[in-house]
């Protein structure tokens, strides 16, 4: 997958345009999106589909223009059944099943609602926040503190040694699933410092020749994955036993179960392998 394809397919926005005909509508309850009953894969609802729904709207937010059409997200109360005989599906359920740019719009919708729910009141003085006129921000009328949507940057790195790649197994993975190493940035760290620290903490090795590859929004719940390659430098693999329970060198022709290309971890693996298959 080329993460640069159609990079202008979505144009973020906060001010709703005057003409909102033929829009995309994403309805969310308890972090699940409403899926049309007559669609085999998830898509936003149309104007007509939303028009006839009997639903209580807790909040509505303009997201921007997707495919030259206005896009909105609606928050509805938590409920067992979706409105209008539609269905509910979580983000993981549509990952890899829809166009990645459409998935990013759904992820954006989830994150905007999370931000809206978590910043109703000022975190400094406790006063009620209001919506900024232009920015995607909440403003405290008492002390002036502004709260923007939270983004948590993470590094994700494929460590390589010639035709071998280093993959780790997390306790949250299925038995035969292995993936690249990853970790959150700490305050005061550079991205490069985070990468070296995380690799050392998780598997006990040193790396060199760190090079940036790609990034991906990962709305679970609000991460930004910064993808890198790095060469093995020194050390013996020693999993930390907490975040990584097993780690091994795998030849690119003999890999375990790894993530697909819809995740940047799978893209890093497959993109590296391409050089040996020419």
Share the mean pLDDT of the chain. Answer: 94
| DSSP single-letter state for residue 182 | E
Q: Compute the distance between CA of residue 140 and CA of residue 120 in angstroms, rounded to an integer.
A: 9
pLDDT at 4 over 90: no
Q: For residue 267, what pLDDT is reported?
A: 96
Rg (CA), the chain: 21
CATH fourth-level superfamily of 152-276: Nucleoside Triphosphate Pyrophosphohydrolase (3.90.79.10)
What is the band of 110 on the pLDDT scale with cuts at 50, 70, 90? very high
What is the band of 172 on the pLDDT scale with cuts at 50, 70, 90? very high
The mean per-residue pLDDT over the stretch 261-266 comes to 94
Answer CATH for 10-118 from 1.20.120, 3.90.79, 3.40.50, 1.10.10: 3.90.79
The mean per-residue pLDDT over the stretch 146-156 comes to 97
What residue has token string 């994150």? 111
The number of angstroms, rounded, from the C-alpha of 27 to the middle of its chain's C-alpha atoms is 18
pLDDT at 5 over 80: no
pLDDT at 70 over 70: yes
CB atoms within 10 A of CB 222: 16
Segment among 36-40, 150-154, 155-159 with least mean pLDDT:
36-40
CB atoms within 10 A of CB 274: 9
What is the band of 3 on the pLDDT scale with cuts at 50, 70, 90? very low
Q: For residue 20, what pLDDT is reported?
A: 78
Helix then strand count (H, E) for the chain reads 5, 15
CB 191 within 8 A of CB 197: no
For the chain, give every residue range classified as CATH 3.90.79.10.
152-276
CB 177 within 8 A of CB 257: yes
Q: For residue 9, what pLDDT is reported?
A: 83
Segment among 18-27, 162-171, 193-202 with least mean pLDDT:
18-27
The helix (H) or strand (E) run that includes residue 147 is strand 146-147
Beta bridge partners, 35, equal: 87
The mean per-residue pLDDT over the stretch 196-215 comes to 98
Q: For residue 39, what pLDDT is reported?
A: 87
pLDDT at 1 over 50: no
């Amino acid at each position: 997958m080329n993460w640069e394809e159609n990079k202008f397919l979505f144009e973020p926005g906060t001010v709703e345009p005057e003409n909102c005909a033929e829009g995309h509508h994403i309805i969310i309850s308890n972090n699940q999106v409403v899926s049309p009953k007559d669609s085999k894969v998830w898509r936003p609802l149309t104007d007509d589909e939303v028009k006839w729904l009997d639903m209580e709207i807790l909040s509505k937010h303009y997201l921007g223009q997707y495919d030259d059409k206005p896009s909105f997200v609606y928050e509805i109360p938590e409920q067992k059944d979706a409105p209008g005989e539609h269905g509910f599906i979580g983000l993981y359920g549509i990952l890899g099943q829809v166009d990645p740019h459409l998935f990013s719009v759904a992820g954006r919708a989830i994150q905007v609602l999370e931000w809206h729910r978590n910043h109703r009141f000022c975190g400094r003085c406790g006063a009620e926040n209001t919506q900024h006129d232009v920015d995607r921000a909440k403003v405290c009328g008492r002390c002036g503190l502004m709260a923007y949507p939270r983004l948590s940057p993470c590094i994700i790195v494929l460590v390589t040694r010639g035709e071998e790649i280093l993959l780790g197994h997390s306790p949250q993975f299925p038995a035969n699933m292995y993936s690249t190493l990853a970790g959150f940035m700490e305050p005061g760290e550079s991205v490069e410092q985070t990468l070296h620290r995380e690799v050392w903490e998780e598997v006990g090795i040193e790396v060199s020749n760190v090079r940036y590859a790609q990034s991906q929004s990962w709305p679970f719940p609000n991460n930004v994955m910064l993808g890198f390659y790095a060469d093995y430098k020194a050390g013996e693999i020693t999993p930390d036993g907490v975040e990584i329970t097993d780690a091994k060198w795998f030849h690119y022709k003999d890999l375990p179960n790894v993530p697909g290309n819809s995740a940047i971890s799978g893209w890093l693996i497959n993109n590296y392998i391409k050089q040996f298959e020419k």
